[in-house]
């Protein structure tokens, strides 16, 4: 069941409708707000829309790096699992 949660990002209140728990929605909003604040700390004058875009790019970069790492680990785990299965079959 969708719930609405008010969150604040860059000093602006947004109403988010989500099936997720309120705490999770707030945690995600705080993460986005933190990424935006990181961009603002660079000290360069940047338009609000550009700040949001740069933060989105940083989040996407982080996501893809983590996804690549996850995919590599999942692939290695799959190979090891197959080797273990083969070894157990041969011995059993």
Q: pTM for the complete prediction? A: 0.78
Give the DSSP per-residue string, 15-70: EEEESS-HHHHHHHHHHHHHHHHHHHTT-----HHHHHHHHHHHHHHHHHHHHHHH
26-77 confidence digits (pLDDT tens): 999 999 999 999 999 988 888 888 999 999 999 999 999 999 999 999 999 9
User: In which region does residue 14 sit, left (phi positive, over 0), alpha (psi from -120 to 50) or beta (all else)?
Assistant: beta
Residue 24 domain boundaries: 3-91
Number of domains in the chain: 1
């Amino acid at each position: 069941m969708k719930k609405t949660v008010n969150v604040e990002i860059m000093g602006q209140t947004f109403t988010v409708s989500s099936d997720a728990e309120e705490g999770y929605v707030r945690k995600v909003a705080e993460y986005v707000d933190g990424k935006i604040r990181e961009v603002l700390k660079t000290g360069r004058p940047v338009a609000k829309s550009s700040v949001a875009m740069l933060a989105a790019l940083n989040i996407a970069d982080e996501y893809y790096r983590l996804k690549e790492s996850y995919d590599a680990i999942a692939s290695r785990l799959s190979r090891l699992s197959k080797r273990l299965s083969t070894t157990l079959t041969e011995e059993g």
